[in-house]
Amino acid sequence: MPPAKIIVLPSTIFLAYCLVSQVGAQSAISSEMVRLSNLSVAAMQCSLVAPSESENARLLDIGIESGRKFYELIRQSPEEFKEIWVKIPGPYLRKEGPSVDVLVGRVYGIVGEEMFRLEAKSPDTKPAFMLKEYISRSCKILRL
């Protein structure tokens, strides 16, 4: 018996390409959501222990901007968020509020409380704690 011939129609190839590219796009969006939320929290934490006002402002800008972009992605792709919510830092799990800036501000408040609790438990003086945290968190290299 002769081997069976497989005929692949151009429409089948196009459909397969669309499915594969859609999966790739979804995982890229998911990855970006995780990256932005973690970057935002890290930058906010770092802003609280920054050694200067200019560094505090730089880090806070990164934290706020990455938080805004994170919420923008959630609004564009809510289904993606449902798939990766376990990888998102706790303060960013709240998605409802009057505006994105209010939501990001709430995250900053939560992060601040966590950092102050951490500082209270530290045996170091406040300046020593701040410097140690700034260095150990690699705050200087954070970029959006």
81-129, pLDDT tens digit by residue? 999 999 999 999 988 889 999 999 999 999 999 999 999 999 999 999 9
Q: In angstroms, rounded to a whole number, what is the distance separating the alpha carbons of residues 124 and 121?
A: 9
Task: Give the SS3 label for residue 16.
Answer: helix
Residue listed under structure tokens 């802003």: 47
The alpha carbon dihedral of 94, 99, 104, 110 has a sign of: negative
Query: Residue 126 region, left (φ>0) first, then alpha (ψ -120 to 50), else beta?
Result: alpha
Orientation angle between helical segments 53-76 and 100-121, nearest 10 degrees: 130
pTM over the 0.85 mark: no
Q: How far is CA 114 from the centre of its chain?
A: 18
